[in-house]
Copies of this chain bind each other. A is one copy, B any other.
Amino acid sequence: MPSYKLTVAYIGTEYCGFQVQPNGPTIQGELMKAGISLFGEDVTVTGASRTDSGVHAKGQVVVLKGSKDIPARKVPMAMNVRLPDDIVIVDAQPVADLWHPRYCNHHKTYEYKIFNGAIQFPQDKKDSYHFKRQLDIGAMKEAAAKYVGTHDFESYSSSGKSTEDTIRTIYWVDITEVRPDMLSVRVCGNGFLYNMVRIMVGTLLDVGVGKIDQGTIECSLSERNRALAGHTAPAHGLTLLEIDYMDEKEKDRV
């Protein structure tokens, strides 16, 4: 059964998240429908990241398996004509049958956009959080640097499952003023707990307005207590930018 690694971009606004569920349209559901139309009934769609309702992606990775053998280079166009306008397959590569987008070693990069002016442009409403209070960006950067490294991020999870492994490694956090009124927070790590990026961003905003101090950030990483971290920033500011599979790079190098 041919397997394809698809790179998928979408605007999450109209969807109840990535994963199929009974209450409304999902990205996985739309990919299934398009896949069945192209490959026939026997299709599976497995995502690297189960993005939440309202979260966007430019580089989600999905494995699609279908029983028909279609050249990978033809898959994006053939899928795109079967998909709604707000979901696009930007790349397709053949992968081994056992290749799994979550179990293969990878880095994920997310971007969270914060509009920090008085009145938000309509062009920015769908993918940036309108945060009106004045921010101390220097303090936010200082706090963000504390996330880098391997930590127990239990305080930064909404899952509530105490059995879960909550150790994650953050490679870098980058806070940039992309415009005088727009802040971009980019985070790269080896994996993220449920709502982890949104709680990190909410916490950084709480630092930016002086509600949380640098010492509390350190405690939040040593004490496994959700109450020590800040609020959960809303979904629509978040975009899954890229998932980088290191094993493949090693292969390329050989």
| Chain A residues in the interface with B (C-beta under 8 A) | 9-11, 56, 58, 76-77, 80, 85-91, 119-123, 125, 127
A58 to B123, Cβ gap below 8 A?
yes
Of B90, B120, B121, B125, the contact of A119 (CB 8 Å cutoff): B90
Q: What is the count of identical protomers in the complex?
A: 2
A50 to B58, CA, bound (A): 34
Most chain B beta-carbon contacts within 10 A, residue among A58, A87, A89, A119: A119
CB atoms of B122 and A88 under 8 A apart:
yes
Known: A11-B123, A86-B122. 4 other contacts (CB 8 A): A77-B119, A80-B119, A88-B121, A123-B127
Which of A86, A122, A123 neighbours the largest number of chain B CB atoms within 10 Å of its CB?
A122
Q: How far is the CA of A41 from the CA of B9 in the complex (A)?
A: 46
- A76 surroundings in chain B (CB, below 8 A): 119
Cross-chain contact of A89 among B10, B90, B119 (Cβ < 8 A) = B119
On chain B, the residues within 8 Å of A87 by CB distance are: 122
Contact between B9 and A88, CB atoms less than 8 A apart: no
